Chains A and B, each alone.
Chain A
Amino acid sequence: MLTVNGVTKKYKKFLANDNLSFTIADGEIGILLGPNGAGKSTIIKSIAGLLRYEGDIEINGIDNHELEAKKMLGYIPEMPALYDTLTIDEHLEFVRRAYKVEDTGIKEKLLERFELTDKRKKMGKELSKGMQQKVSICCALIHDPKVVIFDEPMVGLDPHAIKELKALFQELKAEGKTVLISTHMIDTIEDYWDVAHIMMNGKIAATKHNRPGSADEKSLDELFFQITEGSAAASTAAKKSEEEEA
């Protein structure tokens, strides 16, 4: 379970996150949706323990700065952070050893799943952005984390990798893990999410739960455009989705 309680983050005078609070339960996929500059990456980095902030963040009830919490957290950054002169194999081996994970063959499984087996001897600097993103995902999953946070994970990935990633979200959910995904690409979000928080100017402007049979509620598209662009854009989005459905 991931709990964010009253988190405020300022960059000098700029308020990037304003008293954010939300919870993602075990076996749930949470989405942070919002335009560029809404504060999504800031809260993701705060959860990963990479920023200083006011408020509380807990991973399965433990403060995110504690070592026990770090063991349970997997983080996929927006920009893959690989070592230029380490191979894909060595990246995974380094993270496995640093997290003290016994060699149970998980490395091979991840390499195979993301079609990296034949490129395992390539160095970080030789990889394309998409490849680097795949390695970054493998590194974050190698220690079998209980909570996984993805910051704009689809950017730069090829269609096959996107499909694999979406399947992975479902698998993580089925395994009872907590997943949080930040994205500004509303088109990439299908029906796999449980709760979506729409962010605007550092705040959560709306929260929508994905419940079957709630036809009277606004769709995620409508809600998103209503918040980010106003009601006119929302009605255009509603018409568009009706046309698509028809």
Chain B
Amino acid sequence: MLSAYLYRTRKSLLKRPLKFVLLLLALAMSVFMIFFPTLMAGEEDAVVRNPNVVLGGVSLVLIVMFNFMFFSGVKSGVIGFSQSDVNFHMAGPFSPKFNLIILVEGIIATCAILLWVLSCQVAVLYQLFGVSSADVIAILCGSALTMIIGFLISSFIGAKFAEDEKKKRNFLIGLAVVDILYVGAFVLTCMNKYGSFDTFKALGFKGIMAEFGTSVFSQVYPVAGWISLIYAGIVKNSLVYLIVGIALIVLTFVAIYLLYSKSELDYYETAIAYAQKVADIKEARKAGVDTDTANINRKIKVGKESLKTGWGANAFATMHFLQNARASKLFFVNSLGLMYRLICAVYMFIMSRSAGEDMGPMYYTVMGLTMITLLNVVVYGGGKTVLEFNKPYIFMVPESASSKLFYCLLADLPEIIFDSVLCAAIIWYFAKVKIFIAVGVFVMMIVFDYLCELVALIELRICRGLGRFLLMFVRYVLVYAILLIAIIPAAIVYNIVGSLMAFVLTMAGCGVIIIAVLLLASANIIDRVEFNS
């Protein structure tokens, strides 16, 4: 299966040299980031490596990766089979358990994307935990192993619950409760050890990480903890840790084998239904039409909402409002955006507790805004407006191109406003900036959210055939470049005026100018369309 996948990838890369070059660039970026800690080792401001903090950090990353894979595996269940899998494998002389292995191919791409994203965060990991290049390699290898095991178990459970959404939801809630209890147990143990919560809190982020790294908690967490145990054995030269860790992982693989070979599975009906849907989507793409794949596994019902307003180009805005209202009672909430804001809040919390005391609000604001904007590449890279460009209506409706684009983008405004309020609140709370600066951040985020959306539109227009991974990579690079272009004048203004508000507003102003330039450069994005490219 893997060799077939590699063969197809190799053939596809050779046919598209640009894709090959971009993939090489992405790999080079990854390699550079892996050796970033080695390059920093000789510098004056190098972060001192504390093995206990590192072990705590490695465990934390692996637990997060395991949870991500486990939750998404159980949730998505048996999605991922193609029509040819159905025709050749499910109808063929293979058991349902064996056929689940087919999904591994799909997971390879997801693993690759996650590992690349993780490798791009090495600078943050270095700043937080003081990791070395060897630690980074251990994190990447450990993450790959964690994800594979997590996938094998979760896809089995997902297949078991394929026919019963309620059971699946209850199981996921149960998992979340176990996670909460796990964190609670660690905090309570530490409180007992240090006497009070305040004393424990006074340890600071790195202290808590060191405590976690040396505690049994970092080693007992299923799969992720056991892989951490192996690395702890290597770091601490402990043969016991090493043997116990390896034995637990080997036993896990044996258990997975028994699970797959001894139990009965009946998931074909659900798998075939989803395979048909995926086939329809592929057919639609051949004809130049993309459907809203994000909703493949969601149950949306028709309620009391209706389409009673909108005339001409304005109908696009009201139609998008209707779709948003139908998808969620809180039509202004982007659920993916909310999740990413939570990640930002955790990141800002960790940064504010781990960075040196000499770092002021400016440092935290810049770090926070960079993180938020880069995450928005994902959140606003596939909004309703981007999807609208996959259907013919926006090109065919007899209204001016600019008005159609304007009304499509207008429909995203409630989501963007809500998101910008959250971003401003995060920066205000964690960077400890004044309220009027938070208002400036709010304005800046509205501009940058739209900027991310516009970059996605133009990128899809120019290099649509690159594929999911490379499209994301190119979008990241473009948004990084735009951030740099905006930060340089903002930093100059900050040095002259000395005001954080001036910095934020200059960033917003630069964003507006970049939007105007992008709009001018892509004026024919609707009029001179290439719908089937």
**Contact between chains at A50 and B287 (CB < 8 Å):** no
Q: Return the contact of A48 from the options B287, B306, B312, B396 (Cβ within 8 A).
A: B396
A208 within 8 A of B: no
A83, A123, A125, A129: the one contacting B391 at CB < 8 Å is: A83
Query: What are the residues of chain B within 8 A of A100 when measuring CB–CB?
Result: 311-312
* Cβ of A67 under 8 Å from chain B: yes
B326 near A97 (CB under 8 angstroms)? no
**Is the CB of B399 closer than 8 A to any CB of chain A?**
yes
Chain A contacts of B531 at CB under 8 A? 45, 50-51
Q: Shortest beta-carbon distance, A190 to chain B, in Å?
A: 26
Once A50-B529, A99-B398 are accepted as A-B contacts, the answer to whether A79 and B284 lie under 8 Å apart by CB is: yes
Nearest CB of B to A161, in Å: 19
- Whether the Cβ atoms of A50 and B319 lie closer than 8 Å is no
Q: Is the CB of A85 within 8 A of B300?
A: yes
B529 neighbours in A (Cβ, 8 Å):
49-52
- Return the chain A residue nearest B286 by Cβ: A79
Which B307-346 residues have a C-beta within 8 angstroms of A? 307, 310-313, 315-316, 318-319, 322-323, 326-327
Residues of A near B357 (CB, < 8 A) are none
Q: How far is the CA of A81 from the CA of B327 in the complex (A)?
A: 19
Contact, CB under 8 Å: B399 / A98: yes
Asked if B528 is an interface residue, CB under 8 A from chain A, the answer is: yes
The yes or no answer to B289 lying at the interface (CB within 8 A) is yes
| CB nearest neighbor in A for B390 | A81
| Stretch of A68-76, A174-182, A216-224 lying at the B interface | A68-76
> Do A90 and B396 form a contact, CB below 8 Å, given A50-B532, A123-B302?
no
Q: Are A81 and B532 neighbours in the complex by a CB distance under 8 Å? A: no
Q: Select which of A85, A87, A93, A121 is within 8 A of B292 by beta carbon.
A: A85
Asked whether A94 and B315 contact (CB < 8 A) given A49-B395, A52-B530, A71-B398, the answer is: yes
User: Smallest CB–CB gap between A155 and chain B, Å?
Assistant: 11
Contact check, B391 vs A81: say whether CB atoms are below 8 A apart: yes
**Chain B, 510-533, CB within 8 A of any chain A CB:** 527-533
Given A70-B396, A81-B289, A81-B393, CB of A121 within 8 Å of CB of B302 = yes
Beta-carbon contacts of B270-313 to A below 8 Å, as 1s and 0s?
A: 00000000001001101111011001000010100011001111
**A90 touching B292 by the CB < 8 A rule?**
no
Chain A 112-155 per-residue mask, 1 if CB under 8 angstroms from chain B, else 0? 00000000010101000100000000000000000000000000
Decide if B316 touches A98 in the complex (CB within 8 Å): yes
Chain A nearest CB from B300 CB (Å) reads 5
Expressed in whole angstroms, the minimum distance between the Cβ of B173 and any Cβ of chain A is 26
Identify the closest chain B residue to A79 (Cβ): B287
B489 beta carbon closer than 8 Å to chain A: no
Cβ < 8 Å to A, chain B residues 86-139: none
Bound-complex Cα distance A94 to B311 (A): 9
Q: Is A77 a contact partner of B287 (Cβ separation < 8 A)?
A: yes
B306, A90: Cβ atoms closer than 8 Å: yes
Indicate with 1 or 0, residue by residue over B378-414, a CB within 8 angstroms of chain A CB atoms. Answer: 0000000000001111011111100000000000000
User: Is A95 within 8 A of B393, CB to CB?
Assistant: yes
Q: Is A157 positioned at the interface, with any CB of B under 8 Å from its CB? A: no
Instruction: Tell me the smallest distance from the CB of A30 to a CB of chain B, in Å.
Output: 20
**How many chain-B residues does the 8 Å CB contact rule pick out?**
43
B393 touches A98 (CB 8 A): yes
Q: Which residue, A71, A90, A98, A100, has most C-beta atoms of chain B within 10 A?
A: A98
Nearest A residue to B289 via CB reads: A81
Known interface pairs A50-B532, A87-B302; A93-B307 also in contact (CB < 8 Å): yes
For A48, A70, A85, the residue with the greatest tally of chain B CB atoms inside 10 Å of its CB is A85
Tell me, yes or no, whether A189 is within 8 Å of chain B by CB.
no
Q: Once bound together, how far apart are the Cα atoms of A33 and B517, in whole Å?
A: 45
CA A87 to CA B327, docked complex, whole Å? 13
A86 at the interface (CB under 8 A from B): yes
| Nearest Cβ on chain B to A178's Cβ, whole angstroms | 17
Q: Are B291 and A84 in contact (CB under 8 A)?
A: yes
A123 and B300 CA atoms in complex are apart in Å by 9
Chain A residues positioned under 8 Å from B397 (CB to CB): 70, 98-99
Which residues 43-72 of A have a CB within 8 angstroms of B?
A: 45, 48-52, 65, 67-68, 70-71
Chain A residues contacting B307 (CB-CB under 8 Å) are: 86, 90, 93-94, 97
Residues of the B chain whose Cβ atoms lie less than 8 Å from the Cβ of A73:
396
Task: Provide the residues of chain A in CB contact with B391, threshold 8 Å.
Answer: 81, 83
Take A49-B529, A50-B392, A77-B287 as given contacts and tell me if A84 and B292 are in contact as well, using a CB distance cutoff of 8 Å. Answer: yes
Pick the contact of A79 from B289, B300, B395 — CB < 8 Å?
B289
Nearest B-chain residue to A53, judged by Cβ? B530
Tell me, in angstroms, the Cα distance from A185 to B528 when the chains sit together: 31
Q: In the bound complex, do residue B289 and residue A77 qualify as a contact, i.e. CB atoms below 8 Å apart? A: yes
Complex-state Cα separation, A68 to B398, whole angstroms: 7
**Chain A residues whose C-beta falls within 8 Å of the C-beta of B283 in the assembled complex:** 79
A82-109, CB < 8 A from B: 83-87, 90, 93-95, 97-100
B396 touches A75 (CB 8 A): yes
Cβ-closest chain B residue relative to A94: B319
22 example contacts (A-B, Cβ-Cβ < 8 A) are as follows A11-B533, A42-B532, A49-B529, A50-B392, A50-B395, A51-B529, A70-B397, A75-B392, A77-B287, A83-B323, A84-B291, A84-B300, A85-B292, A86-B319, A90-B306, A94-B307, A95-B393, A97-B315, A98-B393, A98-B399, A125-B291, A129-B280
Chain B residues with CB under 8 Å of chain A are: 280, 283-284, 286-289, 291-292, 295, 300, 302, 306-307, 310-313, 315-316, 318-319, 322-323, 326-327, 390-393, 395-400, 527-533
Q: What 3 pairs across the A-B complex have the smallest Cβ distances? A: A79-B287, A50-B531, A70-B398
